[in-house]
Structure 1
Amino acid sequence: MSADGHGYDHIVMQLRSLATRAVVQAIDDTGANQSVTVAAHAGRTRSQVPVHQQFGLSSHAPVKGAVAPIVALGGDPSDLVALPPANPSLSRVGGLAEGETVLYDAIGQQVYLQDGKIVRIVAATEMTVEIGGKTLLDITPQGATLNVDLQVNGKIAATGDVTAGNISVQKHPHDGVQPGSGITGAPQP
């Protein structure tokens, strides 16, 4: 018995109610802090519960099937905070080796830090690299566009033709061709 004459069951129940898993009904990602509307117990819906996200990582889980742990700070059920929502109904990327990390989204795009040797990026339709608000590299299944000067310190191997301006490396003619050790004119388009 406790000092107040009650059993310890009420203490256990209070401790159990400090943290619970809730079904996410809505996610508001428009403000400075993300917040969720959750149903933790039958008939108990709470809205605008702030989500405690770690610095440097932000996500917006698909709501259908999402759950989130919620914590009553100081045991006060009116002062809730939610941990980032998870969505176990979607395929989680698994099978990682110890020390590997993958960042993924709902459609299977990935940034995969693999075995300390490879950084693999899997994009659905396009990958861009931006610096200072300017797109420097844009890669799609149709091709890659580099919007900066390129300096190569090494060999360039191409299986197809290379053009500079409108002059083909493989199919350009020269004018002023002379036999022997003479010098030809510049490549022509």
Structure 2
Amino acid sequence: MKQSALLNDAIDRIVESAHDIAEGLSAADLAYRPGTGANGIGWLLWHLTRVQDDHIADAAGTEQVWTSAGWAERFGLPYGTEATGYGQDIDEVARFSALDPTLLTAYLDAVTARTKEYLDTLSDSDFDRIVDENWDPPVTLGARLISVINDDTQHIGQAAYVRGLLEAHGS
């Protein structure tokens, strides 16, 4: 089995979980934060998608789906188009606009399609290519892709947990 096939399976699981988490939520549900410093479901789903979009576009040498397909305008968030959520403080997270869950999952679906297209072009030897020399040791494509999946799975878990808290408190 090609390494890209394993990564595609991991990405599919993230998407399936995101759809399950977002299903049936209202804008208020997406904005729900269990504490002042906590992230809401909507922000978590947006952030995990933005990071994947950013990192895959960089590795593939393409424009992000966020800007190339008009998602930044559709979302209309109070951030610059380069924002991925990485490093945002409590106030920035709080300004995230609650959205329709189908907008969040549609953006994730579009990014996932681009990610899978890219993964399908890779041979196993491509995973050793250096994509970021700002680290010691430099980051390979394989390490970057695993990092994206790790980040996405952590945030999916957080979003599922927040949804569980929301349901437990009678939303």
TM range (shorter): under 0.3
Q: TM-score, normalising length from structure 2?
A: 0.23
Which of these two proteins has the greater Rg computed from alpha carbons?
1
Is the strand fraction higher in 1 or 2?
A: 1
Is the helix fraction higher in 1 or 2?
A: 2
Q: TM-score, normalising length from structure 1?
A: 0.21
